[in-house]
Amino acid sequence: MEIDFCGPAIKIGMMREAEYYDMSAVQRTILDAIGNTTLLGLRNIRPANGSRILLKLESENPTGSMKDRMALAMIEAAEADGRLKADGSVVEYTGGSTGVSLALVCAVKGYPLQIVTSDAFAREKLEHMRILGARLQIIPSDSGRMTEKLTRDMIEAARIINEDTPGSFWTDQMKNRDQLAAYHAMAREIWAQTNGRIDGFVQSVGTAASLRGTGEALRQYNNQIRVIAVEPAESPVLSGGKTGAHKIDGIGAGYVVPLWQDDMADGLERVSTEEASAMAMRLAREEGLFAGTSTGANVVAALRLAGTLGPGTTIVTIMCDTGMKYLSKK
């Protein structure tokens, strides 16, 4: 029997599997699907001066977040230098996305994972971590808001777990420089995808690793690229303001984080929770892109940068994750 699918006939039952498929294209594990995400131009949310805003769709990563990149980088670096043994376990504090990404990596690699997190973060993230096998310790928040005290309480709880657990490895994302390599790789993707035509890069600051790693690698290609950091307007500590509470998941720790350096950004943009949420909704309804509030903050800041750079320029920013992680938070 032969069936013609608008091309060469395929003889059913007479061909081996390897002749049907290019087996070299089959990934070994889900971790091989991390990275190489799409760069998409916004069609409707555009600067008045005709500049282009391109969005790196990190929602395409396996857990729907850019944090898959850094989680894999931190674990593999620790494996390589012996900090994480084959029979070891992993500990981390997280607002959610890093925890989900670590849970994915640890599930594939077989490491027990203990996570310190909070009820301030989306329920979907906490449940996702549990489903992937992580054990969670929940730190109560101040009415569901992100504050400096909450961040420090989570860090201290993770430190204690690490001390009390023989053979554990604490990824300690606020200080861990191994993750920078993951964002150097993302910069290489952006440079290739834009054919080197990029005038500005915008990213919100959580640990500061994604801004620092991507920005420093892009500047190695072209040191004229403007790098802009984004922080919550309610807690603008990087730009010299007072610490405060906000509801933009994943960014704004409430203090100057260890990986931050004053020369890593050419400017800082303050974006409020209200502005970030409104832009996230616009992205969904005008572009069909369902993203979280940190992405909304990025796009608000990218539009501002476009206005200063002038017509014909190209700004790249990040769709940090999928909005599916935040349905319970509206």
Indicate if 46 and 125 belong to the same structural domain: no
Please give the average per-residue pLDDT across 120-144, as a whole number: 92
Indicate if 57 and 71 belong to the same structural domain: no
The closest of 115, 95, 93 to 103, measured between CA atoms, is 115
pLDDT of residue 328: 80
Distance CA 109, CA 235 (A): 37
Range of the domain at 272: 32-61+180-329
Determine contact, residues 265/225, Cβ cutoff 8 Å.
no
pLDDT of residue 251: 93
- Tell me the backbone φ, ψ of residue 146, rounded to 5 degrees: -85, 125
What is the number of structural domains in the chain?
2
Distance CA 193, CA 34 (A): 17
CATH number, domain of 278, equals 3.40.50.1100
Q: Is the pLDDT of residue 14 over 60?
A: no
Looking from the CA of 298 toward its CB, the CA atoms found within 13 Å total 32
List the beta strands (DSSP E) in 119-158: 135-139
In a domain, 12, yes or no: no
Q: What is the residue-averaged pLDDT of the chain?
A: 92
Indicate if 251 and 303 belong to the same structural domain: yes
The amino acid at 305: L
And the tokens for 210? Answer: 């994604």
Q: Please indicate, yes or no, whether the overall pTM of this predicted structure exceeds 0.85.
A: yes
In a domain, 16, yes or no: no
Each residue's pLDDT tens digit, 197-216: 999 999 999 999 999 999 99
Contacts of 143 (CB under 8 A, 6+ apart): none
